[in-house]
Chains A and B, each alone.
Chain A
Amino acid sequence: MSAKNPEYDFKWCPGCGDFGVRRAIEFAMQEWTVSKEVPAERNVVVAGIGCSGNLVHLLEGPQPYGFHGIHGRTLPIALGVKMGRPDLNVMVVAGDGDFLSIGMEHIAPQAARNLNVCAVIMDNGVYGLTKGQSSPTTNLGAVTSSTPYGKAEQALNPLDFYLSIGVSFIAGGFSGKPKDLAKLIVAGMEHPGFSIVHVQSPCTTYNDTFEILKGNPKKGLQPMMWDIPANHDASNREAAYKAANSGGWPIGILYKNTDRPSLDQQIDKLNQKVKPKSVQQLLDSYAI
């Protein structure tokens, strides 16, 4: 939606982290289309269901194609788009509930396939659109509308999880710094394989973590976010595990493996070995 659409009746709450992610994606798309000299319509944004998925309707500037599907299924939809048309740039936008709860079953297969799409995950640790239930990244013991006496399961560490299943590009981001985030998203899009940019994007209504993430010197609160140092070796899996498990929220590229072919490259390779038969030849093979 490039101009204001009076019929479109969805709004993010004031201060929502997703505004920053939208800005970052707009920056990244702009840079991508200019540097790669591709028109906007060669990009496809596959959106999940939840507050974050509405991003696809709110992008400003030249419009990419969008697919606003059903809850939890962004990745297999993206699989269809990308493998149907490997020439397109495919991006996934989803929240922690959509991606890590109902959509969890689709992450590992795409990691194994090294599907060449970039997933930008907006993590606010809560189900916002359904008004504040616990999500996989909600902390143990947290009180929400669906955990009135405290959450009984521990929070998922998404970065550690992505590493364990073999996602080939993993970055941590923060919605409050759209320009920095845009660089991570561009790096994810450029990565020839499955990339996830997992963004802390706080919910100002149900789980406002801005202060926790940024810290508050006045209250003596140390920031939870920390920048991955320049000397971090992103090709080193052990170093990535260490960073993912050292507490707080790392910002930057945690892990990157460019040795693996992507699924479309792999299929191209296999196709070189086989000679397709025409429909007539196939019919003839059943001739009596």
Chain B
Amino acid sequence: MDKQDLIVRFAGEGGQGVVTSAEGLAQAASQVGYHVLTYATFPSQILGGPTWTQTRVSTSPVLSTGDDLDVLVAFNKEGYDAHISELRKGGVVIYNSAEFQLPDDGRSFGMTVDEMAKSTGNTRAANMVIIGAIAHLVDMPQEYLEQFVTKRFTRGREGDKEIIESNIKALGLGRQAAAGTQFKLQRLPDPKTPEGKQILVRGNEAISLGALAAGLNFYVGYPISPATTILVWMERNLVGKDRFVYQVSSEIEAITAILGAGFAGKKAMTATAGPGFSLMSEGLGLGWMAEIPIVVVDVQRGGPATGLPTKTEQSDLFKCLHPAHGDVALPVIAPGSVEECFYAAVTALNWAERYQGPVILMNEMAMAERAQNIPAPDLSKLKVENRKVYKGSNGYMRYEASTASPMPIPGGPGAYVANGSEHDAIGDTTHLPQRHIHMTERRFNKLKLLHDGSFESDNSRESIVIMPWGGTKGPALEAYHQLRAEGVPIGWNYTMFLHPLPPALLEELRKKELVIVPELNFQGMWSSILRSHGVKAESITQYTGLPFKVRDLVSRVKQKIQSKQRMVRV
């Protein structure tokens, strides 16, 4: 059987082309119809530092970054040393021989990448030299690559032609260099071009696009890894009439400014990461109390405190579910793929408008920076919701009803005080016990408006299921497919709607013998939440700052099932 995918890791120092090579390979491969997924991890510094990226190319949709490397591209000795152990048997190393030398070990060959690029007259074509060499290894036709280069560099600028020619030349040089060696991997089968239009986007871009598609018209933020890309995207694109985008002076300004805007009738959002999210706690409580639609994106990184700013983790879950003091439980949506990032953002804005309060949208470092081909969203099929606006006369009791009620907007009738203190029907501060009861119940009642979240259920007759959340969905789904293929009796459940959980899903989960939750934190946060809902859930945890490997998940799920069966026998 032909090999169905190709996994390439690029390792070196920041600035050596580690990122551009991975993305170049992904762009080239997706251009000709392959499915692609990239992974990047950065050092927390501007220049230099050890960096690595990974690109997986496949004939079917890619779920995870892939465990074992077919090709390691080492830009320096440190990169080689750190990653060589992950090269699969029969894999190939391409190294930059201008930086270091390797003995003739039967699996490595060197190229003077920069010199070769220079000889084409385009020093920036180094990544094309590498891609050309990889293309030879898997027999990817040269025409595919030339097609990509022509499309990529036809930008209607003077000099396009020279750039295209030099890049094609660079591809050829890399291909020749590889052909001069005895190395060869299995041929990558021809792509099965996905049906319908595809786009290649990163997770944070998908969130930004989804938010705009849902009518976002107010965004402020403060730079913080790994959420900064949303801010800079918005600064460039959320422009024009009746829109506002701004870099404010702190996360406290960000949360309170979007509250002001949401109160004034705007669809407002901010994005941050752990440290900034902590600063937003009090403001999120205010949004819940005063009933203001806003969306806050938390792009998780390793925590606590400054933690691991450029590594991935799923450890903000407790914080996102209960970010503020007092009786608060905010809606939380955690997408599990780049495609879901787009639709999660649409739903987050819709939910905020519908229940009139803050909605938390959780992303994570590995998915924020992951580029992946996804079906282009069809905007004509999107359902965009707008809050019910009060249109009656003055003297309106804004907070009277026992659930969400039409919201007056400044400039229109029904002036009231949006109040963060406990308040009466018109918004004046009160301390009466019966009012606190009424208002607390009103606020929680509104969550019932959000019971429309979808969920996945596969092999639902199985009494043991795997149920990941967030970005762990990809590797978990791949592990699930492998387990089923091996005959392991296990089912699958998944939702991105963590709160409120779809009631039918909760009902299903409560009937299970065991719900296995793989998650990237120490405390096993999601299984702990599920147990509080009466679900027999146990976690498989990892806290390395890196995503799960499929292989590890497969073996740890088996262990869990075995220990469960032993217990049953006893």
Residues of chain A at the chain B interface (Cβ within 8 Å):
1, 5, 7-10, 40-42, 44, 46, 54, 56-57, 63-70, 73, 76-85, 87-88, 105-106, 109, 267, 270-271, 274-277, 279-280, 282-283, 286-288
Contact = CB atoms under 8 A, between A and B. Distances in A.
Q: Name which of B31, B379, B419 has the most chain A CB atoms within 10 A of its CB.
A: B419
B503 to A, nearest CB: 32
Interface of B: 30-31, 197-201, 205, 209, 212-213, 218, 220, 237, 239-241, 243-244, 246, 248-250, 252-254, 256-266, 268, 282-283, 285-286, 290, 373, 376-377, 379, 394, 408, 410-421, 424, 426-432, 435
A66 B420 CA distance: 11
Contact of B239 (A9, A68, A271): A271
Interface centre among B263, B283, B285, B427 (most CB of A within 10 A): B263
Contacts of B253: 76, 79, 106, 109
B511 to A, nearest CB: 41
Nearest to A8: B428
Given A7-B424, A79-B257, A80-B257, A65 B432 contact: no
A73 B284 CA distance: 13
Given A80-B261, A81-B264, A66 B418 contact: yes
Contacts of A288: 30-31, 197-200, 373
Given A41-B415, A46-B260, A85-B411, A105 B241 contact: no
User: Which of A8, A84, A109, A277 lies at the interface centre, i.e. has the most chain B CB atoms within 10 A of its CB?
Assistant: A84
Nearest to A86: B244
Contacts of B290: 67, 69
B410 A5 contact: no
B237 A57 contact: no
Contact of B198 (A54, A63, A67, A287): A287
Contacts of B268: 80, 84
B198 to A, nearest CB: 5
A8 B417 CA distance: 12
A282 B259 contact: no
Contacts of A274: 239-240
A280 to B, nearest CB: 6
A283 B208 CA distance: 11
B416 to A, nearest CB: 7
B244 A267 contact: yes
A76 B286 CA distance: 14
Contacts of A79: 248, 253, 256-257, 260
Contacts of B430: 7-9
A272 to B, nearest CB: 10
B261 A81 contact: yes
A80 B263 contact: yes
